[in-house]
Chains A and B, each alone.
Chain A
């Protein structure tokens, strides 16, 4: 198997691993939350970026880097 093929497989396994943690029950729960959407709570969500909580810059950067790395590996195949 070529290095490129191996990398593609690793990426797919990685994506599969992330998705495997969320089974049908998880997505059923998401559907329920959307179906029973609470206006006041959704308004809170939409305005939450203006709440006086400051995310830790180190966390924001680390998560951004981690996601960028996942995205790069996804599109490099």
Chain B
């Protein structure tokens, strides 16, 4: 079975989202051209997506409203920053993720969304089952490799990348020295990289 790297899957995903991309491109052009109605169009195109994504990640409707407002304020006040290096929808996704992560960090930990938690109705209709299935398989392989790690390495990895704690905090929590934490993480990453040669790991 051919493996799909994250980069390939993303390319497929984005290629199939051409409708959103085209709409975004014309909206940005219109906003920059001074059309005040264009921002409303952008709002209507992304409002439900941002709001519902925030509800899904936070599990709290009131907080999701705050996040939605923050995202649109950032998009509105900083659209001049948008350089077109990525698609607008990816830029908005980056802003949304960052605001959500900051909020979750203040709560005391980032909750990772498992691919198993993604309901079928959450898959874009035009994405097709194949990229999603391949993403599930890739995540399954990563999860299985993490399960096979020695206990301490797995724990360090979860604290560092699951809860996004810094090295000092992990050392305090586990009673290990910072060097010992770094060493465990290094060994865990090396083991994972050896077990998953075809995957692009962001660790």
Contacts and interface: CB of A to CB of B under 8 A. Distances in A.
Interface of A: 15, 18-19, 22, 26-27, 29-34, 36-53, 55-56, 59-60, 63-64, 66-68, 70-72, 74-75
A68 B56 contact: no
Contacts of A39: 6, 9-10, 13, 131, 135
Contacts of B191: none
Interface of B: 6, 9-10, 13, 17, 20, 34, 36, 39-40, 43, 47-53, 55-56, 61, 65, 68-69, 72-74, 76-78, 81, 86, 89-91, 93-98, 101-102, 113, 115, 118-119, 121-125, 127, 131-132, 135-136, 139, 202
Contacts of A40: 113, 115, 118, 132, 135-136, 139
Given A51-B56, A72-B36, A43 B86 contact: no
A43 B76 contact: no
B81 A43 contact: no
B101 A63 contact: no
Contacts, number: 155
B9 to A, nearest CB: 4
B127 A19 contact: no
Given A55-B65, A71-B76, 6 more contacts: A18-B73, A26-B102, A40-B118, A42-B13, A44-B56, A72-B36
Would you call the interface of chain A mostly helix, strand, loop, or mixed? helix
A44 B53 contact: yes
A46 B131 CA distance: 14
B18 to A, nearest CB: 12
B48 A22 contact: no
Contacts of A15: 77
B102 A29 contact: yes
A38 B13 CA distance: 11
A46 B167 CA distance: 33
A64 B86 CA distance: 26
B10 A48 contact: no
Nearest to B85: A34
B199 to A, nearest CB: 12
A56 B97 contact: no
Q: Which 4 A-B pairs have the closest CB atoms?
A: A18-B77, A48-B53, A49-B48, A29-B98
A53 B68 CA distance: 14
